[in-house]
Amino acid sequence: MPKAKLTDKEITTAIAKLPEWKVVGGKLNRAFKFDSFVDAFTFMTKVAFAADKMEHHPEFFNVYNRVVINLATHDVDGISNLDIELAEKINAI
Ligand SMILES: C[C@H](O)[C@H](O)[C@H]1CNC2=NC(N)=NC(=O)C2=N1
């Protein structure tokens, strides 16, 4: 799928269906907390495989049982349809 930079209005519309996600520093952001480091890392591994299949890759920040994910598209210098698609896939994991 081609990458298209979303307008602020399009982001607002898309985010309405992804209430766990917000825009922080121009990126889609969500924080997760798990019971253990292994649970957190298992989740990150699942996200990594889903992302690689899309050829669209997240930013991960992990400390012990916490994971923060930021999604942006460097090719368009903003948030694209692929970030929305990946956020939906992450929500399903
Ligand atoms: C060539 C390759 O498909 C591109 O560089 C992809 C890889 N993964 C990517 N991931 C993200 N998050 N943004 C991109 O612009 C991007 N580009």
3 within domain boundaries: no
* The model's pTM: 0.96
d(CA 93, CA 90): 5
Q: What is the mean pLDDT of residues 60-82?
A: 98
Q: Does 1 fall in a domain?
A: no
Q: CB–CB of 58/86 below 8 Å?
A: yes
Give domain status of residue 39, yes or no: yes
Decide if 84 is inside a domain: yes
Reported ipTM: 0.93
CB of 5 sitting under 6 A from ligand 1: no
| Top mutation candidate among 56, 70, 81 for ligand 1, by most atoms within 8 Å of CB | 56
Closest-lying ligand 1 atom to the alpha carbon of residue 83:
12
Average pLDDT score over the chain: 97
Report yes or no on 71 lying in a domain.
yes
Burial string for 30-59 (b: 16+ CB within 10 Å, else e) reads bebebeeeeebeebbeebeebbeeeebebe
Give the structural domain span for 82. Answer: 8-92
* 53 Cβ contact partners less than 8 Å away, ≥ 6 residues apart: none
pLDDT at position 2 over 90: no
Element (H, E) at 52: helix 37-54
CATH of the domain at 74: 3.30.1360.20
Residue 23 lies in a domain: yes
* Cβ of 56 less than 6 Å from ligand 1: yes
Asked if residue 2 is part of any domain, the answer here is no
Ligand 1 neighbourhood includes 89 CB (under 6 angstroms): no
Could you read off the pLDDT of 35-66 as tens digits, one per residue?
A: 999 999 999 999 999 999 999 999 999 999 99
Give me the number of domains the chain comprises.
1
Whether residue 75 lies inside any domain: the answer is yes
Number of H helices, E strands in the chain: 3, 4
Residue 9, pLDDT above cutoff 70 = yes
